[in-house]
Amino acid sequence: MASSRRQYPFHLIEPKWQQTWDAQQAFRAFNPGEEIPASHPFAIRHGADSMSREKVAGRKAPAKYYILDMFPYPSGTGLHVGHPEGYTATDILARYRRAGGFNVLHPMGWDSFGLPAEQYAVKTGQHPRVTTEANITNFTRQIKSLGFSYDWSRELATTDVEYFKWTQWIFLKLYNSYFDAEKNCARPISELIENRKSQIYNESAESLRAFVDSKRLAYVSEAPVNWCPELGTVLANEEVIDGKSEVGGFPVIRKPMRQWMLRITAYAEKLLADLDTIDWSDSLKEMQRNWIGRSEGAEVDFLVAGSGEIIRVFTTRPDTLFGATYMVLSPEHKLVAEITAPEQMQAVEDYKRFAAGKSDLERTELAKEKTGVFTGAYAINPVNGEKIQIWIADYVLASYGTGAIMAVPAHDTRDFEFAKKFNLPILQVVQPNDAKTDWQNFTDDGTAVNSGFITGLPTPEAKTKITLWLEEKNLGKKTINYKLRDWLFSRQRYWGEPFPIIWKKDAAGNLYHEALPESALPLLPPTLEDYKPTPGGEPPLARAKDWLNLPDGSVRETNTMPQWAGSCWYYLRYTDAKNAQSFVGKDAENYWMASPDSRPRTPDPKSTPGVDLYVGGTEHAVLHLLYARFWHKVLFDLGHVSTPEPFYKLVNQGLILGEDGQKMSKSRGNVVNPDDVLAEYGADAFRLYEMFMGPLQDTKPWNTRGVEGVYRFLGRVWRLFVDEKSETAFEQAETTSDLGSRRSESAEDHAFTSAAAELLDLILLDGGIADMDATPAQLKALHACIKKVTEDLDGLRFNTAISAMMVFVNEAMTWQSKPLSVLKPFLQLLAPFAPHLAEELWARLHSTFGQMAPSLPYAPWPKFDPSLLFESEIEIPVQVNGKFRDVIKVAVDADNATIEVLAKASEKAQPFLAGKTIKKVIIVPKKMVNLIVA
RNA sequence: GCGCGCGUGGUGGAAUGGCAGACACGCCAGACUUAGGAUCUGGUGCCGAAAGGCGUGGAGGUUCAAGUCCUCUCGUGCGCACCA
């Protein structure tokens, strides 16, 4: 507890205003067609009918501003100081936009499916829902105590039945769609079936099903997956870091399993191209581009000598084809067994076992040393008919390209290392343009040599020419490859959305899947006693036999969806959170996601609005943000949403480190708990400090001393407004009550707040405050502050905006008389940052002067008047030979001749001018003057 | 290895190519005070008594003028990593 005196009674002020905002639903956002209570401050500013359908359709309704935080996973440990950093930034902007006349959508919710609650359930048997709800309650209390202006009427949790019903519904859309390569978009599966039926007459049901199932955006695959024994589930590639699980750091092994996949690769090109239309940081876009990993090249067919087999390779350097001196297949390549010579069979089998036994981690760690064996088979190089050896090696990945390569050791580092180790021939086919550079292991562009018909061509032309040649001879073709893999979408867990899928057997006894109808949604998970996987290794859902087995003999899918599913579309649900008929209403979605406003959009002025600003951590750079974009694009193709991109502008808030400059962690003991900071300094100081620390995007260390600094600033604001003597009286009265020692536990603590209000009434305004004309100096201080704060808010420069307010207050503290007309706009500037204190002083200011206080959050944002900042006389620096020497005062409109005369006469410049000739004078009007002497 | 970002006082950080260090922390001195870990006033990049000199990781360059632009280099953080 604070041992020093409070700077101001934030402990009474903050609960009071939080309760007021709650009571009047001050931050509720209104949808098109929604009736607005006449007493609501939004109605008072914009009119009760301002959101009528007619006005929205006619673009007469207030412009929308959708500002979103990445919703948190409600963990058992509660909020840490990193969470509120982004939340504070978005709250300040939400309040600023509200004051600017926008209809602001600023919601909050919970990404509440997830592993920790399930692991707790496995240990204790407590249903994850119970754990989750308790955690949500705690998070809600913490978030509300910070005074954020969320529209809580739109709160959602991904674990809500009414929410995941629609997550399942979207899954059905994916299941029942395919990607039409010609139209370059997703289409309903029914169209595919129609086409197929018109082309193939009398196809068997089994054959048609197999065809259709192979085209769905959600499909079943039998491929090897990342299995984590410790977590008892498979993981997506993105969730595996260096061969270990991202969560927990447990070993991950490759294991073939039947899994649900989402065909995100179909969208690789769109996901890549549309990055250019959105305003994200370059580094983030780059991460997504890297992840998608587009590379242009060619596929080339090599004939296996003495057999009819063809090995297809992918290369980005077809121009080096003449230098291909051997080939490598991945150990898993399907032709390995067929082509291997009898005498090499044993060695190849041994190597395959060796490679398969390696975990992903070992593969990465052992990457330094190349391994492989000769198959005994030869291929024919299609350009020159050379016979070259075929090897297998695990430096060639089965999962990329065709799983086979042509090796050009002269111009590829990996092939070079391999050839060196195994004494394979190295043939130069590219000449570096710089003659001094060694051609061995030269991988850049140069000029083709020893390359038949492309010899002499620069690399780019050589590529084009040889690719055309290959296409003519039907030996290969231009190809684009992506690193991006399809999204592994199933998990062997309990606490996730069940798949609305059942399994049946056809006449031949083969299993096939079928989707439940939409009317069967939501599909609830069964109640379990035990949340562990079954002894047979089946997912926990398989334990519920009566849920699992249906009367007609079919069986439910026992996998559940990954945590990412719920976060793929929550931003859409917020626009119409209570809709029971649809995942989101058309009008609401269209208004919040697609209605344009006048603010400039930087990458592309015509880019779609989407969420206007999305703030969250970098940890979601490739996972959530790529998945959500993918779902959004599918929904867009199918006509369910209005824009191709979900998030127009995205900002990653920087990490907050502990006071020791290390990442905060329990083990280091450097975790700062917001509850403690709030108890000692209040929410406003906490918010202000989080923003004052430095630029939002930067990583920066926490420093409690710094909190004290902004806390003192708020204390100065308080003392700028209140009468000191009355404050003493207030403090004495407070000591005799019990309110000094306790803090309101919740915004519903009415007894506390009404007693607090009574106490606060003892505080009077400073006698210097009056309804009087402001002096020019006062107006100038105010308008300089308005200008700076407004511009900085537009540029998300919260730290410098706060510093501008400090400058203003430091000056205002010296004023004897304080005009209302200056203090009120200042409070408006302060309000987004420190809303509780601003509200309290705003109310007091108006009541003291017998005025009705307009709602502060909806009071129009002050405009700065440039004429008030006009200076008739300015100081400009005088330089001699570029070095600063003196300052001269000149009229703002002084001509160059006058400036030159004054500069030459300036006192401190004299010693540097004495005895020298002035050769040149450079004058930048209103900026500086530079005297060049010999 | 590749890609991206960042290097400014004791600290967090400010600076459309034009007076480097706004604002804040810390520190020093003073005022008020029974007291100060409250508040207020002044000071505070480094060297120097001063005049002045030197200063934005380092080295070059462009410019009348560079923390800012260019080249190289070192350090650091993040991301990717046998992706053919």
Report the CATH number at residue A797: 1.10.730.10
Rounded Cα distance between A186 and A519, Å, is 23
Question: A177-208, pLDDT tens digit by residue?
Answer: 999 999 999 999 999 999 999 999 888 988 99
Question: Do A879 and A760 share a structural domain?
Answer: no
Rounded Cα distance between A24 and A114, Å, is 35
**CATH number of the structural domain spanning residue A404:** 3.90.740.10
Question: Do A767 and A906 share a structural domain?
Answer: no
Q: Which residues contact A564 (CB under 8 A, 6 or more apart)?
A: A236, A623, A624, A627
Please check whether residue A347 is in contact with residue A373, taking contact to mean a CB–CB distance below 8 angstroms: yes
Closest nucleotide to A328: CA versus each C1': B84
The Å distance, CA of A924 to C1' of B69, is 19
The Å distance, CA of A680 to C1' of B75, is 39
- Whether the pLDDT of residue A260 is over 60: the answer is yes
Closest nucleotide to A922: CA versus each C1': B64
Question: A328-380, pLDDT tens digit by residue?
Answer: 999 989 899 999 999 999 999 999 988 877 766 566 664 568 899 999 999 99
Q: Which residue is nearest to nucleotide B82 (CA to C1')?
A: A395
The Å distance, CA of A928 to C1' of B70, is 25
Segment A210-219 mean pLDDT: 96
Q: What is the pLDDT of residue A575?
A: 98
Closest nucleotide to A885: CA versus each C1': B19
Closest nucleotide to A930: CA versus each C1': B64
> Within a domain: residue A563?
no
Closest nucleotide to A887: CA versus each C1': B19
Picking from A463, A481, A499, the residue at the C-terminal end of a domain is A481
Question: Do A897 and A775 share a structural domain?
Answer: no
The Å distance, CA of A692 to C1' of B77, is 22
Question: Do A879 and A773 share a structural domain?
Answer: no
DSSP assignments along A692-757, one per residue: HSS-TTS-EE--HHHHHHHHHHHHHHHHHHB-HHHHHHHHHHHHHSSTTT---SSTT-HHHHHHHH
- Of the two residues A758 and A406, the one the predictor is more confident about is A406
**Average pLDDT, rounded, for chain A:** 90
Closest nucleotide to A932: CA versus each C1': B64
The Å distance, CA of A723 to C1' of B31, is 22
Closest nucleotide to A931: CA versus each C1': B64
Rounded Cα distance between A51 and A30, Å, is 7
Instruction: Provide the token pair at A25.
Output: 């639903």
Q: Which residue is nearest to nucleotide B1 (CA to C1')?
A: A413
Closest nucleotide to A7: CA versus each C1': B38
Please name which of A823, A763, A239, A237 lies closest in space to residue A482, comparing C-alpha atoms: A237
**Which helix (H) or strand (E) element contains residue A109?**
strand A109-110
> Within a domain: residue A288?
no
Segment A49-68 mean pLDDT: 93
Of A262-276, A292-306, A902-916, where does mean pLDDT reach its minimum? A902-916
Q: Which residue is nearest to nucleotide B79 (CA to C1')?
A: A287
Question: Do A750 and A888 share a structural domain?
Answer: no
SS3 A158: coil
Q: Which residue is nearest to nucleotide B2 (CA to C1')?
A: A290
> Within a domain: residue A674?
no
Q: What is the pLDDT of residue A360?
A: 60
The Å distance, CA of A425 to C1' of B34, is 94
Rounded Cα distance between A650 and A90, Å, is 11
- Whether the pLDDT of residue A5 is over 80: the answer is no
Q: Which residue is nearest to nucleotide B22 (CA to C1')?
A: A803
Question: Do A462 and A317 share a structural domain?
Answer: yes
Picking from A867, A894, A916, the residue at the C-terminal end of a domain is A867
The Å distance, CA of A767 to C1' of B33, is 24
% residues pLDDT > 70 (chain A): 96
Question: Do A845 and A752 share a structural domain?
Answer: yes
DSSP A590: I
Q: Which residue is nearest to nucleotide B65 (CA to C1')?
A: A882
Q: So what's the ipTM on this one? A: 0.95
- Whether the pLDDT of residue A533 is over 90: the answer is no
% residues pLDDT > 90 (chain A): 66
The Å distance, CA of A659 to C1' of B54, is 33
Q: Which residue is nearest to nucleotide B19 (CA to C1')?
A: A877
- Of the two residues A669 and A350, the one the predictor is more confident about is A350
Please check whether residue A615 is in contact with residue A86, taking contact to mean a CB–CB distance below 8 angstroms: yes
- Whether the pLDDT of residue A603 is over 70: the answer is no
- Neighbour-count burial for A669-698, b at 16+ CB within 10 Å, e otherwise: ebebebeebbebbbbbbbbbbbbbbeebbe
Q: What is the pLDDT of residue A1?
A: 35
Q: Which residue is nearest to nucleotide B66 (CA to C1')?
A: A882
The Å distance, CA of A282 to C1' of B68, is 20
Question: A824-878, pLDDT tens digit by residue?
Answer: 999 999 999 999 999 999 999 999 998 999 999 999 999 999 998 888 888 888 9
- Of the two residues A539 and A3, the one the predictor is more confident about is A539
The Å distance, CA of A651 to C1' of B49, is 53
Please check whether residue A113 is in contact with residue A52, taking contact to mean a CB–CB distance below 8 angstroms: no
Which residue carries 């000449």 as its tokens? A431
The Å distance, CA of A698 to C1' of B6, is 10
The Å distance, CA of A754 to C1' of B57, is 58
Question: Do A896 and A753 share a structural domain?
Answer: no
Rounded Cα distance between A129 and A112, Å, is 9
- Whether the pLDDT of residue A472 is over 60: the answer is yes
**CATH number of the structural domain spanning residue A882:** 3.10.20.590
- Whether the pLDDT of residue A736 is over 80: the answer is no
Question: Do A475 and A334 share a structural domain?
Answer: yes
The Å distance, CA of A146 to C1' of B25, is 24
Closest nucleotide to A394: CA versus each C1': B82
Q: What is the pLDDT of residue A933?
A: 86
- Whether the pLDDT of residue A745 is over 60: the answer is no
> Within a domain: residue A387?
yes
The Å distance, CA of A210 to C1' of B16, is 63
Strand B nucleotides, any atom under 7 Å to a protein CB: 3-5, 11-16, 18-20, 22-26, 36-41, 51-53, 64-66, 77-80, 82-84
Return the sign of the alpha-carbon dihedral for residues A162, A139, A652, A784. Answer: positive
pLDDT band at A728 (very low <50, low <70, confident <90, very high): confident
Picking from A831, A851, A867, the residue at the C-terminal end of a domain is A867
Question: A405-454, pLDDT tens digit by residue?
Answer: 999 999 999 999 999 999 999 999 999 887 778 888 888 888 999 999 99
pLDDT band at A3 (very low <50, low <70, confident <90, very high): very low
Closest nucleotide to A881: CA versus each C1': B64
The Å distance, CA of A798 to C1' of B5, is 21
> Within a domain: residue A424?
yes
**Which helix (H) or strand (E) element contains residue A328?**
strand A326-329
Q: How many domains does chain A have?
A: 3
Question: Do A381 and A353 share a structural domain?
Answer: yes
The Å distance, CA of A190 to C1' of B12, is 61
pLDDT band at A691 (very low <50, low <70, confident <90, very high): very high
> Within a domain: residue A116?
no
Which residue carries 């500069």 as its tokens? A903
Question: Do A911 and A858 share a structural domain?
Answer: no
The Å distance, CA of A811 to C1' of B22, is 14
Closest nucleotide to A393: CA versus each C1': B82
Residue A257 is which amino acid? M
Closest nucleotide to A358: CA versus each C1': B82
Strand partners, A701: A657
Which residue carries 């990412």 as its tokens? A564
> Within a domain: residue A639?
no
Closest nucleotide to A809: CA versus each C1': B23
Q: A820-830 and A835-848 are packed helices; what angle lies between their axes, rounded to 10 degrees?
A: 160
Q: Which residue is nearest to nucleotide B38 (CA to C1')?
A: A5
Question: Do A773 and A707 share a structural domain?
Answer: yes
Rounded Cα distance between A880 and A60, Å, is 59
Q: Which residue is nearest to nucleotide B11 (CA to C1')?
A: A703
Closest nucleotide to A663: CA versus each C1': B77
Closest nucleotide to A2: CA versus each C1': B37
> Within a domain: residue A785?
yes
DSSP A166: H
- Whether the pLDDT of residue A398 is over 90: the answer is no
The Å distance, CA of A570 to C1' of B58, is 50
Q: What is the pLDDT of residue A406?
A: 96
Rounded Cα distance between A673 and A83, Å, is 11
The Å distance, CA of A358 to C1' of B63, is 60
Q: Which residue is nearest to nucleotide B26 (CA to C1')?
A: A705
Which domain covers residue A915, as residue numbers? Answer: 871-933
The Å distance, CA of A654 to C1' of B45, is 28
Q: What is the pLDDT of residue A2?
A: 40
Please name which of A364, A426, A424 lies closest in space to residue A394, comparing C-alpha atoms: A364
